[in-house]
Amino acid sequence: MMAEVGDADVEDVRQKTLRELHAQFFEMVPIRRMKWKSEVTESSELGPDVQRLVLQATVTSPLCQKYPPCLTYQKTFMKQFLHLLERFDVEICDEVYEQYTELLSQEEEEDDTLCYKTYQLPCGSPVSLQESVHLISQGTTGLSTWQAAQHLAEWSFENSHIYENRTVLELGSGLGLTGISICKQCKPTQYHFTDCHPQVIFLLAKNIELNLADGKSFLTSQHSPSRKKDVSIMKKIRRQLSLNAEAMINELGDIVEVCMSPTTPPPGEQEGIIQELLNDLADFELSTGVWNRDSELPYGTLKKDPRVSLSKLDWGQPNQELLSRLSADIILGADLVYDASIISDLVPLLKSLLTHQTLSTAPAPVAYVACTVRSEDIRDHFLYSLGKEDLKYEVVAPPCERIFHYDRSVPIEIVKIYA
């Protein structure tokens, strides 16, 4: 005989379902892929009380005020919620209609192109990141968080022992999800974030400040000149992204991939804005209120947590002095091998980082690179290039537990590389 589901069990399932909904909403999971309910939550349970709880877990949650997902996404979510309730033919409470109408009355800003995504870590701590709603923008892939970054973070949570008493260097950090999650959940002795694209570095710095330095500078020092400059740069990034947007979000809240070649000349209207932004970013420096900046190198450490550093590192033109500063036990990278053209810069850099002289007592450095296998040819070319440099590699076991809600249809492999 089947065991009866008691009130306490139902309550547990309801809480779990709401937590899942909350996590998916703030990660901005495409509505089409969103899991709304568990098998146990039936239409009879979608009464007015549960509807209010759904609102509280999503659009009326305090997190939505503080770090809102983009407005179009919120509207699409509410529209889908109403469809669901109508389909189940349940009584819809006034708050749901009111909230939807309120959202519809809000005008989308022309430059609603940067938004917050929040990822919940197993330790209970959230990571909120400012991201572009476009996957590829400004010829860089670094203004959104990619699946491989989430996969590498999930793998790190299950292998956190490898970070104990170890220093980490991350290549192509993008917006920082992997590194910020590892700093919060795994506690390495030092974590070096790096990237080379000016806009990525700017947003990465803001995301690190937000999550690892209590949001200092950007959110609190309202009237400082550096905050004014940050706000102005942020506006220009938004404006520039919106000018480039061909399509942003389709009917079901899918983020539509906008492909731009880095070599495509920008149309007339964009040139001025792009140039202005590049000028602003050229002299952008880490805020001295939050960072201890190196006087010689493009490198700074967080005042609040000197374990954390950020620097500009271009794989094609690595500054040797900077490289020795960044020497680490573990080298990480997520979705670095997305294009065959970057392999010739990346692999020699990995070789140099994995073979630098360490104390004879220290363990030899190891790299873990999470590769999204969109093309087997590119993956094979990467592995072949590693072999040519006399580097050894093996694919490690994937993480077992699903923490984040990314699309898992394309395989991701974590390649362990060593000399």
Ligand X SMILES: C[S@@+](CC[C@H](N)C(=O)[O-])C[C@H]1O[C@@H](n2cnc3c(N)ncnc32)[C@H](O)[C@@H]1O
Task: Give residues in contact with ligand X (CB under 6 A).
Answer: 140-142, 145-146, 148-149, 172-174, 195-197, 200, 313-316, 334-336, 338, 342, 345
Rank residues 21 and 28 by Cβ distance to ligand X and give the closer one: 28
**Cα separations (Å) of 196 from 57, 204, 316?**
37, 11, 10
Give least dist CB 117 to ligand X, A.
11
Give least dist CB 195 to ligand X, A.
5
Rank residues 200 and 212 by Cβ distance to ligand X and give the closer one: 200
Joined tokens for residue 81: 């919620």
Give least dist CB 174 to ligand X, A.
3
How far apart CA 35 and CA 171 sit, in angstroms, is: 33
Joined tokens for residue 55: 């609102």
How far apart CA 131 and CA 345 sit, in angstroms, is: 26
Rank residues 75 and 170 by Cβ distance to ligand X and give the closer one: 170
Strands (E) in 166-287, as ranges, are 167-171, 190-195
Q: Which residues, including other chains, have CB under 8 Å from residue 264's CB and lie 6 or more apart?
A: 139
Can you state the angle between helices 7-26 and 48-57, rounded to 10 degrees? 40
Rank residues 334 and 383 by Cβ distance to ligand X and give the closer one: 334
CB atoms within 10 A of CB 356: 15
Of 134, 112, 133, 114, give the one whose Cα is nearest residue 258. 134
Rank residues 145 and 207 by Cβ distance to ligand X and give the closer one: 145
Give least dist CB 375 to ligand X, A.
14
Rank residues 184 and 227 by Cβ distance to ligand X and give the closer one: 184
Indicate the burial class of 204 (C-beta count within 10 angstroms; 0-12, 13-18, 19 or more): buried
Rank residues 316 and 387 by Cβ distance to ligand X and give the closer one: 316
How far apart CA 290 and CA 332 sit, in angstroms, is: 25
Give least dist CB 103 to ligand X, A.
29
Contact 401, 145 (CB under 8 A): no
Give least dist CB 119 to ligand X, A.
12
Give least dist CB 363 to ligand X, A.
24
